[in-house]
C-alpha cells in the first residue's frame, strides 16, 4: 500500500460546506474527492475541467463602445437622465 501524507490548505467556509454537502450526496468524503482529483491531474497532466480567466464582459470592446457613445450623447445634451430609487437586494 502506498504511503499516505497529509496535505493542508485553506478554503472559504461556504466553499467547504458546499463541497461537504455535495460529497455527502455522492457518498464521498472530502478526502476521497480530493484524492480522485489529484489522481486525475497526475494521470492526465491537466486540470480535469476548464479553468479560464475570462474577462469581465463589462470591459468588452462592444460595451466600451456603447458606454463611449452614451457619454458622448450625455456631454452633447442628447441623452436624458432621470433619478430613480436605489434598488437594494
pLDDT, one tens digit for every residue, the chain (89 residues): 689 999 999 999 999 999 999 999 999 999 999 999 999 999 999 999 887 777 788 888 999 999 999 999 999 999 888 888 888 86
Predicted local confidence at residue 72, as pLDDT: 94
DSSP letters for 23-46 = HHHTT--HHHHHHHHHHHHHHHTS
Closest CA to 38 of 52, 14, 30: 30
Enter the C-alpha cell of residue 27: 457518498
* pLDDT value of residue 33: 95
Do 41 and 48 form a contact (C-beta atoms < 8 A)?
yes
pLDDT of residue 48: 92
Q: How many CA atoms lie within 13 A of 83 on its CB side?
A: 1
What is d(CA 11, CA 66) in angstroms, rounded to the nearest whole number?
A: 39
Amino acid at each position: 500500500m502506498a504511503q499516505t501524507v497529509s496535505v493542508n490548505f485553506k478554503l472559504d467556509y461556504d466553499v467547504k460546506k458546499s463541497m461537504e454537502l455535495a460529497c455527502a450526496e455522492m457518498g464521498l468524503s472530502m478526502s476521497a474527492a480530493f484524492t480522485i482529483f489529484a489522481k486525475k491531474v497526475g494521470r492526465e497532466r491537466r486540470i480535469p475541467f476548464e479553468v479560464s480567466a475570462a474577462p469581465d464582459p463589462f470591459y468588452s470592446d462592444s460595451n466600451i463602445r456603447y458606454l463611449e457613445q452614451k457619454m458622448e450623447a450625455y456631454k452633447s445634451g442628447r441623452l436624458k437622465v432621470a433619478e430613480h430609487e436605489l434598488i437594494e437586494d
